[in-house]
Structure 1
Amino acid sequence: MASQIVDGGLISDEKVALENEKEKLEVLEKPSPPLTTSSSSISDGEEISEKAILRKLDYKLLPPLTLLYLLSFLDRSNVGNAKLEGLAADMNFTDTQYLSTLTIYFIGYVIFEVPANIVLKKTTPQFWLPTTMVAWGIVATLLGVCKNFNGFLVARFFLGATESGLFPGVVFYLSMWYKRSETTYRVALFFSAASLAGAFGGILAFGIAHMRGIAGLNGWSWIFILEGILTVVVAFAAYGFIHNYPKTAKFLTEPEREFVQARLKADNDATNHEPFSWPSVLRAVKDPKCWLYGLAFHTLSLPLYTLSLFLPTIIKALGYTAAQAQLMSVPPYAVATVLTVLVAVASEKAKRRAPFIIGSSIVAIIGYIILLSAPSNKPGVSYVGTIFAAAGIYPATGIVLAWPANNVSGQTKRATANAMQISIGNLGAVLGTQLYRPSTKPRYYLGHGFAAGYLLANILVVLTIWAVLARENRRKLESERSAVVDESPIENDDDVRWIFQV
């Protein structure tokens, strides 16, 4: 029985008639023709271009989802901008108390990550994603009227809890619309909103800070209030522009829905009717690869979140004013946004993940070496280090976060794996929030040193994943030559069905 491996795709095999009258099954499909020329005729005779369909999906799905994540990242990281505008001083935070407000966010985030994605699988994206957004928008707004440490601490915990379902939920959601070879670019584009939020955050904070004194509130209060209200407004609108899955998408015609369903059926399990099942959750928990994906993000989340939370503080410690630091936080994020998209495109075209993650981590390590070694009388050199750090961290993270969506088969298992990755990863952020202590400024040796060390660990973890997936692919090549695989996502997971993208 002939079979072949296609990098980043599935194994092609002849359809085999089973004597027990099961439907004919394909072991794995051949890769789709190039998007620039691919087209297909649907039952009513209408010819549909795959490139046109992809463009339509991108325009309808990605901008709204990216907006949601931009606001999510803005609401979690604007505390760094608020600190420069007097948050800690007005509330009489000690250094330890301020860092605790950063840490508690990630504790709430980690605890509710997996449960949130389970709720998404049991409900619908159109209901769940906007609902979580309304909840975190309300909490984000209330941060602006907190009067003491205890109130602020509780609000930060619930901000983490309510935001926990967005990112892993969207990664799973995109895997239900796109082929496996198409998800990395889309997830990275979605994730680029994180760096975009950093750029917007600095600009918005600079402008909103001038509202100090209005209604008796300081500028930092207005940062939380206005950005939180914006989130709530967009959340209510999101009930109208977030769609569920291709089968019911109103923006597609019936022939287009059939076409999308057909191309997904040939590539992954997105079209299967798979009810939620606890055994599938357990399969994800028992799969070492799911833990490795989580560890890959863990080793990036510490530098990612320390940079996003402390970048204005790091820049200010170089000798700049608060206003200058707010504006100077924009260029590193702008560079990171562009590179996140470009590196993802290169990764898609090369059909490789690990080399691009490793290369990006090396760029970030160079940035931290600059920050650790630059002369104290040359703040401009240290500032260049922040640009290198951002330029490496964000592209690497975007690809890592798409990896489970590429490689985990079975809808419930994949939803669980996505949530596990974020939960395990954000434990690194919990540690990172305690590293940039005022007593270590202006060089922040402890924080920068930990970030560089974690990035080195990331390279080792990614090399391990690369080796594991390559070995699994070789094993499956041998087994698929002589066996027919049951396509059921419930009974057969990625260990026997999928060629992993490395």
Structure 2
Amino acid sequence: MSNNLNDSKVNPLALSESADTADTNKADGEIAHLERGKFQPGLDGVDEEIAEFQDSSIVITPEENKRLKRMIDKHVLALMLGTYFCQSLDKGTLSFSIMGIREDAKLVGNQYSWLTTCLYLAVLVCEFPQNYLLQRLPVAKWFSFNIVSWGIVVAASAAANNFAGLVVLRTLLGVFECSIQPTFIILTSMWYEKEEQVVTVSLWYCMNGLQTAVGGLIAYGFFHIQGTAIKNWQFLFLILGLITIVWGLFVGYWLPDSPMRGGRFWSQEDRTKMVERVRENGTGIQNKKWKKDHVVDALTDPQVWAFVLIQFANTIPTGGLGAYSNIIISQNLGFSVLQAYLLSIAQGTWQILVLLSAAWLATKTKQTLLIMIVYTIPNIISAICFITIPNNKDHAVVLLIMFYFTIFFNAQSSLSFSLLTRNVGGQNARLRFSLPLPSSTALVTRSALKALFQAKDAPLYRNAFAAQLGCYCFSIILFVFLRLYYMRKNLLKRRATALAKGLSETTEDERNDEERTHVNAFSDLTDRQNSEFRYSY
């Protein structure tokens, strides 16, 4: 069933009868692009493991599909949630500087901020190699190795007592932790149907909110460890690191590398059904072969560069708000350390509610990009208020409410990643460029954010919030472009399919999508090569 409204009816780019010739030429061009994939339907390009398990004749009832999803959730989703929570806690340990790590490690000047910068630089350098290894190696085993490795790094940080040691360890933390998001996107597209992916991505993004809610309280508890040979921050690093190591070993045991390799937990019949339940996705499951045409396809794909710009526009606002919120909470409201941590519970809970509501609405309406536009509007309101309302104690409550409005912007990240999992086909295209390019853009942008909130602009920081307001408006323009692009591509694919079948090029009704056989679902074609692929928006 189609995930969107009737493209031919709502598409503002639909051509009149006088443009039939030009439109036919475009459909012919679409056919030419499809033929450049050079595949034999249903045979060429299929991974050997998948070939053993695919069976398009299998019929999966709704009740059976629910049973299969529960089994998958138990082994995949549960581990993604636990891992993302561990990662959020481990990466955030440095932010608990109240414990005295600055003094004990004798950090001076910008050394403390460099401990965060070096982590992001490591992620930037290692993300492309990590994506390459994820395609070549068993996903679960490599994922487990990275989790255990960063757990060792976090635990070892308890022994660091100077800037040089902390820099080395924080850099290694970035090397191993940069595997998280690409692995999760691979797992989401590998195990879950398109209709399930919005909620799945949003659920593991909710772990950021959970970390915000409980991370501060955990740190506050460790803060009260006083008068011992081991410092309280060392206890925190050591215990969180050891927990992560144990969790990583469990992930290696409990998480199958793919639906085809779940023999320890499921029968061959169930594994075949798990493969077939994602056939209609059209994005494939796995393929370890290098394909140059996939790389070219990804680098020339407008949607990939749209996601790069979306990440750029998303990172600037979210990256600078943390310091500003501290001014509101600590200085203007005069909250104590414990009160600030208690307030973070409400902040984290609100973030979870925002993400879940956005996922529910996007799934219910099947209009992801429209929901992203709606969830950007509160941020525009907040930016205008930040620009116009003085940042002082008299307006602290109003500004705090406006800060909570900015949390709506978190829905952009989860929903945009769900679009990536649903709309990018071909393993080389997805792993080599479609995933790392947007993430790398976010990292580069985050590294440059220090120049945004400047002391000379205090206390209003009008320039910073004017830049954020521009990013919000630019995001909406990108969402509109991406929606129109997907609608147009779906329309041309339907017309190209009709022409290939010898039908009239006006045979473009989305009801004809029901007749697709998805014979090339596992042929490792990119979304632009696969004639039966339909974009979700």
TM-score clears 0.5:
yes
**Do 1:364 and 1:388's aligned partners in 2 also have CA atoms closer than 8 Å?**
yes
Given that residues 141 and 224 in structure 1 are in contact (C-alpha distance below 8 angstroms), is that contact kept between their aligned partners in structure 2? yes
In structure 2, what is the Cα distance between the partners aligned to 1:311 and 1:221? 27
Unaligned runs of 5+ in 2: 9-38, 44-55, 502-517
Letter in 1 for 2:268: E
> Is 1:428 paired with 2:445?
yes
Match of residue 14 from structure 1:
none
1:500 aligns with 2:535: yes
Which amino acid in 1 is paired with 2:270? E
Assess if the C-alpha contact under 8 Å between 1:195 and 1:394 holds in 2. no
- Equivalent residue, structure 2, for 1:185: 199
Distance across 2 between alignment mates of 1:145 and 1:314: 35
Shift of 1:241: 1.6
Q: Name which of structure 1's ranges 430-439 and 410-419 shifts more when overlaid on structure 2.
A: 430-439
Name 1:63's counterpart in structure 2: 78
- The answer to whether structure 1 residue 242 and structure 2 residue 258 are counterparts is no
Shift of 1:467: 2.5
**Match in the other structure for 1:262:** 276
Partners of 2:346 and 2:195 lie apart in 1 by 31
The answer to whether the Cα contact below 8 Å between 1:112 and 1:164 also exists between their aligned partners in 2 is yes
Amino acid at match of 1:230: I
Give the Å deviation of 1:148: 2.6
Q: Give 1:63 deviation, angstroms.
A: 1.5
| 1:373-384 map, 5 Å | 373=389, 375-378=391-394, 379-384=396-401
Alignment partner of 1:355 out of 365, 370, 381:
370
Aligned partner of 1:330 in structure 2 is 345
Q: 2:498 aligns to what? A: 481
- Measure, in 2, the Cα distance between the counterparts of 1:404 and 1:220: 38
Q: Secondary structure at the match of 1:176?
A: helix
Corresponding letter in the other structure for 1:78: T
* Residue in 2 that maps onto 1:405: 421
How far apart, in 2, do the equivalents of 1:75 and 1:436 lie? 26
Q: Letter of the aligned partner of 1:468 in structure 2?
A: Y
Compared CA separation, residues 501 and 41, structure 1 to 2 (3 A): closer
How many Å separate the matches in 2 of 1:307 and 1:204? 23
Q: CA deviation at 1:189?
A: 0.9
Does residue 76 (structure 1) correspond to residue 74 (structure 2)? The answer is no
Counterpart among 132, 135, 158 of residue 149 in structure 2: 135
Cα distance, 1:412 vs structure 2: 2.5
Assess if the C-alpha contact under 8 Å between 2:41 and 2:519 holds in 1: no
Out of 239, 244, 247, which is 1:226 matched to? 239
| Larger RCO (CA within 8 A; separation ≥ 6) | 2
**How far apart are the structure 2 equivalents of 1:452 and 1:64?**
37
| Structure 2 counterparts to residues 104-123 of structure 1, below 5 A | 104-123=118-137
How many angstroms apart in 2 are the aligned matches of 1:101 and 1:444?
A: 25
The answer on whether the counterparts of 1:113 and 1:420 sit within 8 Å (CA) in structure 2 is no
Distance 2:339 2:236 in 1: 17
What does the per-residue CA deviation read over 1:242-290, in whole Å, with 9 as the maximum and x for residues that have no partner?
A: 2211122233333322222222224324357553445434432332321
- % identical equivalent positions: 21
The 1:299/1:351 distance shift into structure 2, 3 A limit, reads same
Give the Å deviation of 1:313: 6.6
> Per the alignment, do residues 439 and 233 of structure 1 end up closer, same or farther by CA in structure 2, a change over 3 Å counting?
farther
Normalised by the size of structure 1, how large is the TM-score?
0.83
Report the TM-score when normalising by structure 2.
0.78
Count, aligned residues? 472
Between the aligned partners of 1:161 and 1:114, the Cα distance in structure 2 is 11
How many Å separate the matches in 1 of 2:125 and 2:5? Answer: 33
Separation (CA, whole Å) in 2 of partners of 1:237 and 1:447: 44
Q: Separation in 1 of the partners of 2:82 and 2:401?
A: 28
* Closer/same/farther in 2, CA of residues 63 and 405 from structure 1, 3 Å limit: same
SS in 1 for 2:224: helix
Once the two structures are TM-superposed, the CA of residue 375 in structure 1 deviates from its matched residue by 4.9
Q: Deviations over 1:205-253 (max 9, x none)?
A: 1111112442242x33433333222212211221112221112223333
Distance in 2 (alpha carbons) for counterparts of 1:98 and 1:447: 23
Paired residues for 1:141-156 under 5 Å: 141-156=155-170
Counterpart position of 2:355? 340
Match of 2:313 among 299, 303, 311: 299
- Change in CA separation of 1:56 and 1:292 when aligned onto 2, cut-off 3 Å: same
In 2, distance between residues paired with 1:251 and 1:10? 42
User: Offset at 1:434?
Assistant: 5.3
Helix, strand or coil for the counterpart of 1:478? helix
Is the CA contact (8 Å cut-off) linking 1:136 and 1:159 kept in structure 2? Answer: yes
Aligned mates of 2:377, 2:228 — CA distance in 1: 46
Deviation larger for 268-277 or 144-153: 268-277
Distance 1:255 1:377 in 2: 64
Which whole-Å CA distance do the structure 2 matches of 1:444 and 1:293 have between them?
28
- For each residue in 1:96-127, what CA deviation from the matched residue of structure 2 results, as whole angstroms up to 9, or x when unmatched? 33333222221111221121121111111221
Does structure 1 conserve the Cα–Cα contact (< 8 Å) formed by 2:3 and 2:366? no
Partner of 1:471: 488
CA distance change for structure 1 residues 427 and 49 in 2, over 3 Å: closer, same or farther? same
**Structure 2 Cα separation of the partners of residues 383 and 325 of structure 1:** 12
**In the TM superposition, what whole-angstrom CA distance separates every residue of 1:293-340 from its partner, at most 9, and x where no partner exists?**
122123223333445687557632333223322222221111111221
> Equivalences for 1:417-456 in 2 at 5 Å?
417-433=434-450, 435=452, 448-456=465-473
